[in-house]
């Protein structure tokens, strides 16, 4: 697992901080080998995510297909906005993307698609751009100011997790999702009653 260490450590840091991880591509192999695709992996999650995982019987990391299937994640995010009423666009959601150990140019294309859709996206290993240029400033700051996502870069999995969690927390706060609320267990009869009212 050493060759996938960055990816595994990033995901462990995210789930430890109550971030549900949706994973695509080859890196899923490393997470499966690390046991993160099993419901038992919920013991590594923070208290909020652990409670959800244990209640539903799901793992804290969900596979979403190959790397080119990332559009599925964006479709789900757009439905959170449209049907769930969370914000006005994907850029308002508490989500972030990452490719900590990317190895092909198609990853850059997928990453830019995410950024253009409003998702903060962090890459590791290296980033193919010259720092301190106008183009670098546009990608890492300017696009977000225009209502899109933005790029981030660090090869360190713990720093990457910090960047992503800070972004997610900022978006949670803006949506009012940072405060705990009293939870009510809803049984099937109550669900039917709510559906009838709606």
Output the pLDDT for position 26.
83
Q: What is the distance, to the nearest Å, from the Cα of residue 12 to the centroid of all Cα atoms in its chain? A: 13
Residue-range domain boundaries for the chain: 1-65, 77-198
Express each pLDDT in 117-146 by its tens digit: 999 999 887 777 777 888 878 777 887 888
Residues facing residue 123 across a β-bridge: 99, 153
- Count of CA atoms in the C-beta half-sphere (13 A) of 13: 18
Output the pLDDT for position 37.
94
Rounded CA-CA distance 100/123 in Å is 5
Q: Which of 90, 61, 62 lies closest to 74 in space, CA to CA?
A: 90
pLDDT over 70 for what percent of the chain?
Answer: 97
What's the mean pLDDT in 43-71? 90
Helix (H) or strand (E) holding 121: strand 120-123
Can you list the pairs that 191-198 forms with residues at least 24 positions away whose Cβ atoms lie under 8 Å?
Answer: none
Express each pLDDT in 14-29 by its tens digit: 999 999 999 888 888 8
Rounded CA-CA distance 186/179 in Å is 20
Quote the pTM value.
0.83
Q: Is the distance from CB of 25 to CB of 103 less than 8 angstroms?
A: no
Assign domain 77-198 one CATH number from 3.90.1150.10, 3.40.50.720, 3.40.50.2030, 1.50.10.20.
3.40.50.2030
**64-68, 71-75, 141-145, 183-187 — which is least confidently predicted?**
183-187
Higher-pLDDT residue of 86 and 103 is 86
Interacting residues of 71 by C-beta distance below 8 A, sequence separation 6+ = 113
pLDDT at 185 over 80: no
């Amino acid at each position: 697992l050493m060759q996938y260490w960055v990816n595994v450590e990033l995901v462990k840091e995210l789930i430890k901080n109550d971030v549900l991880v949706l994973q695509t591509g080859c890196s899923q192999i490393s997470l499966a080998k690390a046991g993160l695709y099993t419901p038992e992996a919920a013991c590594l999650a923070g208290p909020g995510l652990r409670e959800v995982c244990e209640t539903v019987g799901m793992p804290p990391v969900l596979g979403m297909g190959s790397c080119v299937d990332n559009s599925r994640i964006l479709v789900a995010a757009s439905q959170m906005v449209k049907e769930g009423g969370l914000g006005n666009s994907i850029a308002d959601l508490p989500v972030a993307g990452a490719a900590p150990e990317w190895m092909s140019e198609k990853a850059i294309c997928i990453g830019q698609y995410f950024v253009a859709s409003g998702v903060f996206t962090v890459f590791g290993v290296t980033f193919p751009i010259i720092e301190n240029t106008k183009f670098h400033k546009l990608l890492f700051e300017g696009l977000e100011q225009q209502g899109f996502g933005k790029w981030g870069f660090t090869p360190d999995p713990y720093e990457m997790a910090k960047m992503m969690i800070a972004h997610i927390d900022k978006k949670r706060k803006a949506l009012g999702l940072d405060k705990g609320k009293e939870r009510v267990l809803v049984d099937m009869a109550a669900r039917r009653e709510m559906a009838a009212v709606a």
